[in-house]
């Protein structure tokens, strides 16, 4: 009996890693390309960097909506595939593609008509407004391709295929870097298009990515024709699952704006150290994001197949794998944080603050792992509200109040900021784990 249990656990671990590792690689490569993109633009000038930064702040909201649609799509398709209802899964995929296309077109029209007012709302200074508007319109008017690319990737992952989005992502990233360089700086005597070239490179690879992913869908068991209208019976279930996920991401984005504003009040050097620490810390998210995708898919598919105990086990086992991965990352972060900080600045005071931030964050990594994976597991089980509640409480209550009290009242500086973040991650992990256990018990009742 014990040997059989160990064998089953080993099999489940292999299944989890087979799904998660391609997603980890895909996320890692996207992060690397983001760094390269910023590096290229920084060679044009600081105004161009600011223009891209303010545009990306708006695009983060667009992407949040598109990703939320992907969450609803993943949840419904995973359960349909698990239940063997491939026809239903195809219908859901077709309908989600249509809704995503409409969302992308709507955001494109909004961008075309209101680019400058939106950029001013996000704080674009007059000297960067012209460059920002050019970049924003080029990357955001064709938002339909970004929206479709996002949902097509979610469709494939929900069916258990994480390798194809990874492979497409690798080719996209390679093309992106090459196009970035050529269109920004030119080639063979041509001077390039500067910041507009960076925008065209980004838009081009999104078109390529959307087409490539759809071609792979057409070759998969979930093949559907985009020309046929989807069934409206799945519109409401998709929106009911996607709306809380969209709200969660918007709550997070706007909460970040608020507590970033509080950090600025502490001091420019503290804010700079916080941004640098965040840029380094983002790599620690890669294992958690990849394993969250696996949790969503496996919990959803097993619930669809009425294997409720397997769904519970997959959720918890994926969580513990993430804890192991990210604890190891935390140890590396604690040891090497001064070295990593030194890559970005030679200011000893800033290096000290970045080191303090990352060493506090190192202890929070296991809780971050739990929060990311269990949120994915809950979404696979059809619960997108619990992650939304945890984000709302964490961002608007714990982080904002924590930064205000620890930094502005007790004058703890960067340590207060990252202690607030750590407390948020701990409470969020406990809350989501309790919600997942309760959700699993209710499905078995």
- Boundary (domain end) residue, out of 207, 230, 253: 230
Tell me the whole-structure pTM to 2 decimals: 0.87
Q: Do 185 and 45 share a structural domain? A: yes
Half-sphere exposure at residue 38, Cβ-oriented, CA atoms within 13 angstroms:
12
- Boundary (domain end) residue, out of 230, 252, 278: 230
Integer Cα distance of 190 and 413 in angstroms: 49
- Tell me the average pLDDT across 156-165: 92
Q: Do 245 and 202 share a structural domain? A: no
338 within some domain? yes
- Tell me the average pLDDT across 386-395: 91
Amino acid 209: pLDDT: 92
Integer Cα distance of 243 and 376 in angstroms: 16
Amino acid 268: pLDDT: 74
State the residue range of the domain holding 164.
Answer: 14-230
4 within some domain? no
Q: Do 161 and 203 share a structural domain? A: yes
Of 428, 389, 76, 373, nearest to 244 by C-alpha is 389
Q: Are 408 and 383 in contact (CB under 8 A)?
A: no
Counted domains in the chain: 2
Q: What is the pLDDT of residues 178-190, one digit of tens each?
A: 998 999 998 887 8
- Boundary (domain end) residue, out of 188, 207, 230: 230
Q: What is the pLDDT of residues 324-333, one digit of tens each?
A: 999 999 999 9
Neighbours of 394 (CB within 10 A): 25
pLDDT band at 99 (very low <50, low <70, confident <90, very high): very high
**For 62-76, 84-98, 251-265, which range has the lowest pLDDT when averaged over its residues?**
251-265
Q: Do 186 and 262 share a structural domain? A: no
Q: Do 225 and 317 share a structural domain? A: no
Q: Do 192 and 258 share a structural domain? A: no
377 within some domain? yes
Give the pair of three-digit tokens for residue 39: 């590096």
Q: What is the pLDDT of residues 267-292, one digit of tens each?
A: 878 877 887 888 788 888 888 999 99
93 within some domain? yes
Integer Cα distance of 199 and 140 in angstroms: 9
Amino acid 229: pLDDT: 65
Q: Is the pLDDT of residue 36 over 80?
A: no
Between the two ends of the chain, the Cα-to-Cα distance in Å is 26
Q: Do 328 and 224 share a structural domain? A: no
Q: What is the pLDDT of residues 337-361, one digit of tens each?
A: 999 888 777 888 888 998 999 999 9
Q: Do 223 and 106 share a structural domain? A: yes
236 within some domain? no
Residue carrying the six token digits 């018990």: 441
321 within some domain? yes
- Tell me the average pLDDT across 154-161: 92
pLDDT band at 81 (very low <50, low <70, confident <90, very high): very high
Most confident of 56-70, 223-237, 252-266, 370-384: 370-384
Q: Do 306 and 220 share a structural domain? A: no
Amino acid 120: pLDDT: 86
The region, left, alpha or beta by phi > 0 then psi within -120 to 50, assigned to residue 229 is beta
339 within some domain? yes
pLDDT band at 16 (very low <50, low <70, confident <90, very high): very high
Q: What is the pLDDT of residues 204-226, one digit of tens each?
A: 999 999 999 999 999 999 998 87
Give the pair of three-digit tokens for residue 12: 């489940």
Q: Is the pLDDT of residue 1 over 70?
A: no
In 3-state terms, what secondary structure has residue 37? helix
Q: Do 164 and 252 share a structural domain? A: no
407 within some domain? yes
Q: Is the pLDDT of residue 230 over 70?
A: no
Integer Cα distance of 110 and 276 in angstroms: 33
Q: Do 21 and 50 share a structural domain? A: yes
* Cα–chain center distance at 89: 24
Of 367, 395, 392, 378, nearest to 435 by C-alpha is 378
Integer Cα distance of 288 and 424 in angstroms: 17
Q: Do 300 and 174 share a structural domain? A: no
């Amino acid at each position: 009996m014990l040997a059989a249990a160990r064998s089953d656990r080993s099999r489940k671990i292999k299944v989890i890693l087979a799904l998660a590792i391609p997603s980890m690689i895909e996320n890692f490569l996207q992060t690397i390309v983001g760094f390269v993109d910023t590096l290229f633009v920084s060679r044009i000038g600081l105004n161009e960097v600011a223009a891209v930064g303010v545009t990306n702040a708006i695009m983060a909201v667009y992407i949040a909506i598109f990703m939320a649609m992907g969450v609803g799509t993943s949840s419904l398709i995973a359960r349909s595939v698990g239940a063997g209802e491939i026809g239903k899964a195809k219908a859901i995929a077709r309908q989600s593609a249509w809704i995503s296309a409409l969302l992308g077109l709507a955001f494109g029209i909004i961008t075309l008509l209101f680019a400058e007012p939106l950029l001013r709302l996000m704080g674009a200074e007059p000297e960067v407004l012209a460059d920002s508007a050019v970049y924003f319109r080029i990357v955001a008017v064709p938002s339909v391709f970004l929206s479709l690319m996002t949902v097509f990737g979610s469709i494939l992952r929900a069916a258990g295929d994480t390798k194809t989005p990874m492979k497409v992502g690798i080719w996209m990233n390679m093309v992106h870097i090459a196009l970035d360089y050529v269109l920004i700086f030119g080639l063979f005597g041509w001077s390039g298009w500067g910041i507009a070239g960076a925008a065209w490179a980004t838009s081009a690879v999104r078109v390529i990515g959307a087409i490539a992913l759809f071609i792979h869908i057409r070759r998969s068991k979930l093949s559907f024709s985009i020309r046929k209208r989807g069934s409206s019976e799945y519109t409401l279930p998709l929106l009911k699952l996607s709306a809380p996920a969209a709200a969660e991401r918007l709550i997070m984005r706007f909460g970040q704006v608020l507590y970033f504003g509080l950090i600025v009040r502490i001091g420019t050097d503290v804010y700079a150290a916080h941004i640098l620490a965040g840029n380094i810390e983002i790599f620690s998210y890669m294992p958690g994001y990849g394993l969250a995708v696996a949790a969503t898919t496996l919990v959803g598919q097993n619930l669809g197949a009425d294997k409720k105990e397997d769904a519970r086990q997959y959720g918890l086992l994926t969580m513990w794998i993430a804890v192991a991965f990210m604890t190891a990352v935390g140890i590396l972060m604690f040891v090497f944080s001064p070295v990593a900080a030194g890559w970005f600045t030679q200011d000893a005071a800033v290096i000290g603050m970045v080191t303090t931030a990352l060493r506090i964050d190192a202890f929070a990594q296991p809780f971050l792992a739990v929060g990311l994976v269990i949120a994915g597991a809950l979404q696979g089980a059809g619960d997108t509200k619990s992650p939304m509640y945890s984000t709302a409480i964490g961002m608007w209550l714990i982080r904002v109040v924590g930064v205000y009290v620890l930094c502005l009242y007790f004058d703890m500086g960067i340590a207060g900021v990252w202690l607030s973040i750590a407390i948020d991650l701990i409470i969020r992990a406990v809350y989501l784990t309790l919600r997942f256990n309760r959700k699993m018990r209710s499905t078995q009742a």
